[in-house]
A and B are shown apart, each in its own frame.
Chain A
Amino acid sequence: MSDDTQDDLDLRSLNDEELAEQIGDDLYDGLKDEVVEGVGILLERGWDPNRILNDALMPGMDIVGDDFRDGILFVPEVLLAANAMKAAMEVLRPLLVETGAPKIGKMVIGTVKGDIHDIGKNLVAMMMEGAGFEVVNLGINVDADQFLAAIDEHQPDILGMSALLTTTMPYMKTVIEALDRKGVRDDIVVLVGGAPLNADFAKAIGADAYCKDAAVAVETAREFMKRRHNMPAS
C-alpha cells in the first residue's frame, strides 16, 4: 500500500458525489467489502439501483478496462476488481430486476472443446457482467452441441468463444458452422478471443469480431448492441 493511503476512511462521511467516486476507486483497487458497503449506503440514501450501476460502478470498471487494455493493470488486479464488481452486482441485480431497468444484453460464453483454459474467458465474463451484461458461462471444453443447446435455452445476443491453443482454435469454426446449419448464425453476434488468435483468423472462420482482451470484448459487445437496437424490428 502506498503512502497516500488514507486510513479508515468513513464512507458515510462522504457526500453522494464523493462516495460514488470512492466506490469507483475502491472497485479499481479490488476492495470488495468496501464496494459493497458503499453501494449499501447509496441505496440507503435513496439512490436508484440503475443510477448506482451507471454513475458509481461502471465508471470504475471502465477505468479498470482501459488500464487493462493499455497494459497498466494485469490479470491479478483485474480479477480482484471483477470480484468486487460481482459482489456489488449480487446486491443490485434483484433490485434492478424489480425496477425493470432495460437489459443491456445477454452473452453465452465458453472455452471450446479440448481447451481447458479458463482465465481469459472468465475475465471476459466478469468484465461483461461488470458492464451490466447478463452472462451465461458454460465453462471449459464446450462442444458445438452444448453451445447450441445453451443458445436455444438462453436466447443470447452474443456468443463468446475462447481458445488458448493453436490446437483448439480451429474448433471455433466448427461451432460457427453448426450455428449456420441450425439457421441461427444471423441471430447472434459471435465474438472470439484467445492468445493465438487475431482479426484475420476471426474473419476466416466467419466470426463477427476478434477481441484482443476483455476490455475490447466489452467495447465490441456494446458496439454491436447499439447496432442491434438500431435495427428495425422484423
Chain B
Amino acid sequence: MSRIPLADLMEERGWLLADGATGTNLFMKGLESGYPPELWNDEKPDVIRWLHQGFVDAGSDIILTNTFGGNRFRLKLHEAHARVRELNEKAAKIAGEIAEKADRPVVVAGSVGPTGEIFQPAGTLAMEEGVEGFAEQIAALAEGGVDVIWIETMSAREEVEAAVRAARQAAPDLPVVVTMSFDTAGRTMMGIRPADLAALAGELDLYAFGANCGTGAPDLLASVLEMTEAAPDAIVVAKANAGVPEFVDGDIVYSGTVELAGAYARMARDAGARIIGGCCGNTFEHVAAMHRALQGYEPGQRPTLEQVVEKLGPLQQETGHKCAHGHHHGGNGDDDGSGRGGRRRRRRRR
C-alpha cells in the first residue's frame, strides 16, 4: 500500500502503534554483543526485513529504521564513519519496502540516536559539529525515503536542539518526533524533566514528543503523565522497555511479560499518550499484545501514579515524582527550578 503522511494517519486513527525493540530481536538472530546493528542493513538485509515484517504483522503502524547508532560519532568506533550515508539510506529503503508491502498504511520513521558525546559547555562537542553529524545521517534517511525523523533516547537539551536543527536543514519537509530517556530520578541523566521536554517541543515545533527506553513501564508512564499534564493537547509518545533486563543462562531477558505489555499500552492511552510502542526487550509478541489491547479500546480515566504501580509494578527510580515512594529530599519539589534542596548556597561571581 502506498505511504501516507504520519499526520494524516494520526488524524484518521487518533492513536498509532509504534514498534518494539531492535537490538533485543537482532540478538535472537545472532547479533553479537558489541557489533553495530547498522552494518546489518548492508550485510544481512533479510534479517532487517524480518524485523520490520514481524512488527508490521504484529500491528505496528510506525516502524523505526535500524539506524539508531547510524551517526558518524557512533560508527567511528567501528571504523564505519565513512558509511553513514550508505547505511542510513539502505535502512530507510528496507523499511520502506516492507511498509509498502503491507495491506494498510505503515509509516517509516528514521531513527536517530544520540552521539554518545557530551555537548559543550559541560562536555566537548561543539553545537556546529553535532548539527553537521546529525545532518549527514538525516539527509541519508530522507534520501532513502523515511516519512518522519524520529530522534530518540536523548538525554541533553543541547543534543536535541542539534538534532532538530539538523532535521530542519537536511529534511525540511519531514515532521520531527523527539523522545528522551528519563532514567535518573525522574529526569534524564542530564537533568531534563519531562515537562521541560514538553516546553522545548513547543519551541522547536515538534510533531510529537515523549519518552522511550528508561527503566521500565511504570517509570516511563510517570514521565508520560508529567508531559500530558504539561501539554494536554500534544501528541505524546510512550515507548517503554519490557521491564528490566535480567541475565539468565548467559542471555539477557526482560522481566516484562506479554500480559503486562497489554496493560501498559492501555494505561499509556489512559495517561494521554497517542503513539504507543515498546523499546528494549519488546518482541513481536509484546507488540501484538499491545495491538490487541488497544484495538477498539476507549481510553479510561487518567491514572494516578499509585494506580500505575498497582497495575504494572513498582517504580525503579527514586524520584521527585509525587507519590508515596521512597524518601523525599527537602526542597526537591517540582517547582523550585534549581532542585538543589536545602544546601547552603554561597556562589561567587567573577
> Which A residues are closer than 8 A to B by beta carbons?
1-2, 4-9, 22, 25-26, 28-29, 31, 33-34, 63, 67, 70-77, 79-80, 112-120, 140-141, 165-171, 173, 195-198, 200-201, 204-205, 213
Contacts and interface: CB of A to CB of B under 8 A. Distances in A.
Interface in B106-134: 116-118, 122-123
A116 B346 contact: no
A74 B34 contact: no
A74 B182 CA distance: 12
A145 B156 CA distance: 34
A166 B250 contact: no
Given A75-B191, A76-B191, A201-B247, 20 more contacts: A1-B349, A4-B345, A7-B348, A7-B349, A8-B350, A22-B346, A25-B347, A28-B343, A67-B343, A70-B332, A72-B340, A72-B341, A72-B343, A76-B122, A79-B123, A80-B122, A114-B34, A117-B116, A166-B23, A204-B246
Contacts of A173: 247, 250
Contacts of A1: 347, 349
A73 B123 CA distance: 16
B34 A167 contact: yes
A173 B320 CA distance: 34
A9 B31 contact: no
A173 B33 CA distance: 12
Contacts of A33: 350
Contacts of A25: 344-347
A77 B122 CA distance: 8
A201 B117 CA distance: 26
Interface centre among B74, B187, B252 (most CB of A within 10 A): B252
Contact of A75 (B34, B190, B340, B344): B190
Query: Which of A4, A80, A120, A167 is most buried by chain B, counting CB atoms within 10 A of its CB?
Result: A167
Nearest to A123: B189
Q: How large is the interface on B (under 10, 10 to 19, 20 to 34, 35 or more residues)?
A: 35 or more
B250 A119 contact: no
Contacts of A166: 23-24, 27, 245, 252, 280-281
Given A6-B346, A73-B340, A113 B122 contact: no
Given A118-B116, A166-B24, A140 B77 contact: yes
B325 interface: no
B245 A169 contact: yes
B33 A167 contact: yes
B191 A74 contact: yes
Contacts of B247: 169-170, 173, 200-201, 204-205
Contact of B33 (A67, A79, A170, A201): A170
Nearest to A204: B247
B122 A200 contact: no
A71 B74 contact: no
**Which 7 residue pairs are nearest across A and B when measured between Cβ atoms?**
A114-B34, A71-B185, A74-B191, A76-B122, A204-B247, A116-B77, A201-B247
Contacts of B346: 4, 6, 9, 22, 25
A12 to B, nearest CB: 13
Contacts of A28: 343
B189 A75 contact: yes
Q: Interface majority SS on B: helix, strand, loop or mixed?
A: loop
B329 interface: yes
Given A166-B280, A204-B247, A77 B349 contact: no
Given A70-B332, A196-B280, A116 B348 contact: no
Interface in B302-350: 317-320, 329, 332, 338-341, 343-350
6 contacts: A4-B345, A71-B185, A71-B329, A74-B188, A200-B247, A201-B247
A75 B348 contact: no
Contacts of B280: 166, 196
Nearest to A73: B340
A9 B33 contact: no
A70 B33 contact: no
B175 interface: no
B183 interface: yes
Contacts of B320: 71
Contact of B23 (A67, A77, A118, A165): A165
A77 B121 CA distance: 11
Given A79-B123, A166-B252, A2 B246 contact: no
Nearest to A169: B252
Contact of A72 (B23, B77, B332): B332
A120 B181 CA distance: 15
Given A167-B23, A171-B33, A74 B349 contact: no
Contacts of B184: 71, 74, 213
Given A75-B122, A119-B118, A198-B245, A114 B189 contact: no
